[in-house]
A = this chain, B = another copy of it.
Amino acid sequence: MKIEAILDKSEKCSSIFENAIRDLEIPTCKAFLKSGKLAPINFKQASHEIENKDTPKVNKAFPHSYGASKNKALEADSPNEKPLKGKRVAVLFSGGPAAGGHNVIVGIKKILGKNNTLLGIKAGPKGLIEGNLFEITDSDVEGIVNTGGFDFLGSDRTKIKTDEQFAQVKRTCNDYKLDAIVVIGGDDSNTNAAVLAEYLFTNVMPDGSGVQVIGVPKTIDGDLQIGDFLPISFGFDTATKIYAEMVGNILQDTPSSRKYWHFVKLMGRAASHVALEVALQTKPAITLISEEVAEKKLALHEIVDSIAKSVVDRASRGINHGVVVIPEGLIEFIPEMTALLKELNERMAEFKSILDAKSFDEKKDYIYTKLTAKHAQLMASLPDYIEQMLLADRDSHGNLQVSLIPTERLLIDMTATRVKEIDPSVKFNTLNHFFGYEGRCGAPTLFDAAYTYNLGLTVGSLILAGKTGYIACITNLDKGGKPVALPLTGLLNIERRHGHDEMVIEKALVRTDSPAFKYFASRRKDWVNSDVFCSPGPRQLWGPASKQLPISVALNRDYSAVEFKF
């Protein structure tokens, strides 16, 4: 075949690599294998009850779900000898994409088998409301297995909350005669799944029956995790390995070209799991962890001062290069910055009509007179372009889009000034990067591919066992993998949002008393003092380096190896 013909055939996700991964065998937990063949499993209630301080209130709000689950986790039992038949199951993606989403669908489809029907909901929760569904075929599944992205269904961020939306969902359930809905999403989407499960528990169909709802833990941010039961959300491993390879490449570049400090911002606004994992994978000179900044109540100038001192210190050892890793959400974890932003938002709302009539410079002068002294001082210490952003127009809620602040540039500029103050002879050439979108849709690592496929098998098993209101999980990742399910109600907390209490799944932040953080904290002094970086390399789907787990997961779960074993 001529090259041109080979190339024509490679279009539509059919490169040599993409074709090869479709033939890759996916490691499967023993629980799902009966005489070497795939089979759904039964579940039994574990003794352990999932609860938190708000559980009593939540239980009252979710009487059906709590009544059925008693907030007890489910564990894999024997194979399900009498799985339900004729089930019609619909699956959707919610929120930003994460690697492995397609394999969840593959797993569900395989375990549902010929006796049941799987439908895809197009373009996220909105598709469920609008009734945009289609039947997923075996050949669809052959096409998407092990591939990255959410493009098979598409996704969106619609939150189902109004009475009308719920009614529309009910209509879709009836129109398509659905028995179950699978929500693949993050903390907010699984909160939505909990609400849907309760709402659809009964009286959806003309015969009075309900529709089961099962959630699947997705998010590259890694902030949906619940101890040993839910060691990590899917997509985290792939995203962090992609970012870690890029950071590793840049680290390898620094002593090669010997002239730059690279400031790398990594996606992940709420939690710093991504930054911490990338730090453990690559050992950059400096990694900032938002949660630590908040806990120690560090001021911006203290962070800058610490970076600047490290720059000067390395320079004294002849190292005029380095890498600084910054979590996307850092600014929001610096107490004085959030206080300044809060005061600014309030003052700008208070004096809106006066400010609207002013030029930028007049506006600035005016606002400065309205700020408390310490906030005025802080704002004056920021580079001009940040000052300009802080005074920019607010969104419809009167808030500033903090994510637009270029934290990496802010830190570079302030560090440059500080380095010059400490020692003007120190060379400080910089480059900045932001890695985000690159990490959401790459082909899954072997771990994420296997993890999501087995999550799909768990989801299908839960549905064929008649369960609803659970999130599917795989635990014991280093010891064969064990399917479990957690009652969604047990995960709900009461949080103050937009001025009123909401029951939501709490985001899991980095804990500074966790083994992963403690290991990082114990080693970082050596990382800044010398160049001991390493790199996980490009994700390997074959060969001796293909089974690596996220290091932070292995540390936090006290595994004895950093390789997964299904």
Any B CB within 8 A of the CB of A268: no
Which B residues touch A431, using CB under 8 A?
A: 437
Cross-chain contact of A17 among B252, B537, B541 (Cβ < 8 A): B537
Chain B minimum-CB-distance residue to A478:
B3
Any B CB within 8 A of the CB of A443: yes
Report A114-152 CB contacts with B as 1/0, cut-off 8 Å. Answer: 000000000100000000000000000000000111110
Segment with Cβ contacts to B, from A205-213, A405-413, A547-555:
A547-555
Segment with Cβ contacts to B, from A6-14, A184-192, A307-315, A503-511:
A6-14
Which B residues touch A526, using CB under 8 A?
A: 11
Which B residues touch A538, using CB under 8 A?
A: 17, 242, 245, 442-443, 538-541
- How far apart are the CA atoms of A334 and B401 in the complex, in Å? 36
Smallest distance from the beta carbon of A242 to chain B beta carbons, Å? 7
Any B CB within 8 A of the CB of A491: no
Any B CB within 8 A of the CB of A380: no
> Given that A242-B249, A439-B249 are known contacts, is A537 also in contact with B257, CB under 8 Å in the complex?
no
Q: In residues 1-36 of chain A, which contact B (Cβ within 8 Å)? A: 1-4, 6-8, 10-18, 20-21, 23
Is there contact, CB below 8 Å, between B257 and A155?
Answer: yes
Chain B minimum-CB-distance residue to A546:
B542
Number of interface residues of A (CB under 8 A): 85
Q: In residues 57-93 of chain A, which contact B (Cβ within 8 Å)? A: 93
Which B residues touch A458, using CB under 8 A?
A: none
Is there contact, CB below 8 Å, between A441 and B15?
Answer: no
A-B contact pairs, 28 of them (CB 8 A): A3-B551, A3-B559, A4-B519, A4-B555, A6-B561, A7-B523, A7-B551, A11-B283, A11-B532, A11-B533, A13-B535, A16-B562, A20-B544, A97-B252, A149-B252, A154-B255, A154-B258, A245-B442, A248-B442, A249-B438, A249-B441, A253-B440, A260-B437, A262-B437, A433-B437, A538-B538, A538-B541, A542-B543
Partner-B contacts on A (CB < 8 A): 1-4, 6-8, 10-18, 20-21, 23, 93, 96-97, 123, 147-151, 154-156, 242, 245-246, 248-250, 252-258, 260, 262, 280-281, 283, 431, 433, 437-443, 519, 523, 526, 532-546, 548, 551, 554-555, 559-563
